[in-house]
A and B are shown apart, each in its own frame.
Chain A
Amino acid sequence: MLSDAFLARLDTLRLAVRGRAAGGAGGSRRSRQTGSSAEFSDYREYIPGDDIRRIDWNAMARFDKVFLKLFMEEQESAVTVLLDGSASMGDKWEAARQAAEAVGYLALTGGDRLRVICLQADGNRISPPMSGRQAYARLEQFLDTCAPRGAGNLTESVMRAEGLRKGLCFLISDCYAEDGIGTALDSLRYRRQECAMIQVMSAFELNPELDGAVKLTDSESGESVDLLADREALENYRGTLASFLDGVRETCFRRETPCALLDAGQNFEEIWIPLISRSNML
């Protein structure tokens, strides 16, 4: 869904990893280890999408299996995208999906192994592992099969997410959780994830234009709130919104997690690059 021109712009960027990359597989990410020589380090099995120039033909001849050569300073990272698929994401889904695609693209072109998990109450949907630029089409296909539904408990869904290899983790959500996102982030960090938070909010949520007496019904839970939307009530909402956003930022800050606020009402391709470069995710 992202335009080719935009993807071309993303080609010049790379996701930042502050910690040491997990060793053991070929990638184009620099590790902390010193040594700039293209020194042979290890083999790993080929998976579709890897650079075929790395294939060690000798090893293949010997073992009848395709192996890649790995070099010391090139190590790979795993990137996981956790996409909140609860019903509250309904009117932000497009922006959230685009964010998932953009992050996924950056991971794939950076030589990282990508996995996308769509968090849902009735069972998370997990994509197969992907790597290489060509896998982008598969990423799009996977996201096509996801749709926001159900009343989700974000923390629970995150804790149920499985198979997370040590690496980067991008959580894309509106952060609507009763107890905040702290527990979710902690559970990810416990599983050796280096987290980044992309909070998505819709235009209506950031700036509601309501008038008169309205009965707001929650699409997720079905609960409703009767409201007399006068100036005072809107002021009050804005105050609540501000403290909510501050709370999310603070929670992330305490855990050294970069945090970005994505406004679903704006043109994604225009705001995405400045947004993530500001948030130290590149």
Chain B
Amino acid sequence: MLTFAAPQFALFLAVPAGIVVLYLLRRKYLPRLVPSTFLWQTAVRDHAANKPLQRLRKNLLLPVQFLAALVLALALMQPCLTGGKAARTVMIFDLSAGMQAVSDGRTRLDEAKERAEELLRGLPPGEEITVLSAGAEVRQVLTGSTDREDIRLAVRGLACGRTGADLDRAVSLAEAIRREDPERGTRIVVFSDNYIPPAGIGAVNAGKGAENRGVYALAAEEGSAYARICNYGGDCTLTLYCEADGRL
């Protein structure tokens, strides 16, 4: 089934139609009375006989222009084939605490969400999307959905946890999904901050990894709290504030 991904460009079909109309209008010959067409008839005969290529060129001009405009308009409309088995995409979101790092006024997770939305817009309709979140556990947020609204809501609802992300688990789950149906092409994209993917998997890394220090783990029990602080940037001095019940 042939559909058009960008049907709004159908208005450009007016251009080839316009070319035809112009050609039709052009063919008006102004009448003129001359004493004799004796010489003109001979001239026109010779012209036609001697230059078959010229006549062909003149005759070709209209259809070539028409076809070019038509093809251009159709191309703008982005024809694509859908139906049968659509392709799938698996999006894995890194929900580790590090994704809360702020750069350029937004967190890395926000950036990842924006880029996920961009990716969504570029996907053809009918593509099945699975959203996996990788926090302390790997959860299937949404499986095989084609409803873009649902997907967007699911993605926006993702929030960072306080722990690290088990990306490897998530990736192997995604690969299992892929193996389920080898006929279809399954794209796997990991949205993280500095993940280097294995072959066959794409990664979208948010944020600039330069100055990155943060609380990578936090656990609290009665009476004691445990925090792990990591610094991935250059040497620096940090002051750690610890509050309990609002009191330092």
Chain A residues with a Cβ under 8 A of chain B: 87-92, 174, 176, 202, 204-205, 210, 212-221, 223-227, 232-233, 236-237, 239-241, 244
Contact = CB atoms under 8 A, between A and B. Distances in A.
B40 to A, nearest CB: 5
A176 B36 contact: yes
Interface in B56-75: none
B37 A223 contact: yes
B28 interface: yes
A219 B29 contact: no
B44 interface: yes
A111 B31 CA distance: 49
19 contacts: A87-B36, A88-B35, A88-B36, A176-B39, A205-B35, A213-B26, A213-B30, A215-B30, A216-B34, A217-B31, A218-B34, A218-B38, A223-B41, A225-B41, A236-B43, A236-B44, A236-B47, A239-B46, A240-B43
B36 A225 contact: no
A225 B34 CA distance: 10
B43 A215 contact: no
A88 to B, nearest CB: 4
A237 B32 CA distance: 16
A204 B36 contact: no
A219 B35 contact: yes
Given A213-B27, A233-B43, A237-B43, A219 B32 contact: no
Interface string B101-138: 00000000000000000000000000000000000000
Contact of A232 (B27, B31, B35, B54): B54
Contacts of A213: 26-30
Interface string B149-168: 00000000000000000000
Nearest to A89: B35
A215 B34 contact: no
A215 B42 contact: no
B33 interface: yes
Interface residues of B, number: 22
B31 A215 contact: yes
Contact of B40 (A212, A216, A239): A216
Contacts of A214: 29-32
A216 B32 CA distance: 5
Given A176-B38, A216-B37, A218-B36, A236 B31 contact: no
Contacts of A219: 33-36
B32 to A, nearest CB: 5
B44 A225 contact: yes
Contacts of B27: 213
Contacts of B35: 87-92, 174, 202, 205, 218-220
Interface string B195-217: 00000000000000000000000
A124 to B, nearest CB: 20
A212 B36 contact: no
Contacts of A205: 35-36, 39
Contacts of A218: 34-38
Interface string B168-201: 0000000000000000000000000000000000
A241 B41 CA distance: 11
A217 B32 contact: yes
Contacts of A232: 47, 54
A204 B34 contact: yes
B160 to A, nearest CB: 73
Contacts of B41: 223, 225
A226 B29 contact: yes
B237 to A, nearest CB: 85
A218 B33 CA distance: 6
B110 to A, nearest CB: 65
